[in-house]
Amino acid sequence: MKAKEIRELSAEEIGKKLRDMREELLNLNIRKATGNVENPARIRQLRRDIARLETVKAQKKA
């Protein structure tokens, strides 16, 4: 997800996406611990997307 796309979202949509992505990241980390992850690069992508969402969320508050 690009930062430009995130900036077009409302604060509620950003919050929902954050919750969904954090839940997916948690599930992937659990599967990683058991050795059942199909796409390990998805973990890194999710972490970066979460950081982008948090950054834009903070910018909108200020």
Do residues 7 and 58 lie in contact, with contact meaning Cβ atoms separated by under 8 Å?
Answer: no
- For 38, the 3-state DSSP assignment is coil
DSSP character at residue 62: -
Domain edges within the chain: 3-61
Does residue 5 register a pLDDT over 80? Answer: yes
Does residue 62 register a pLDDT over 80? Answer: no
The alpha-helical segments, DSSP class H, found in the chain are 3-7, 11-34, 41-61
Rounded distance, CA 26 to CA 21, Å?
A: 9
Domain covering 3-61: architecture? Orthogonal Bundle (1.10)
Residue range 46-62: average pLDDT? 93
pLDDT of residue 17: 96
- Residue 13 amino acid letter: E
pLDDT of residue 61: 85
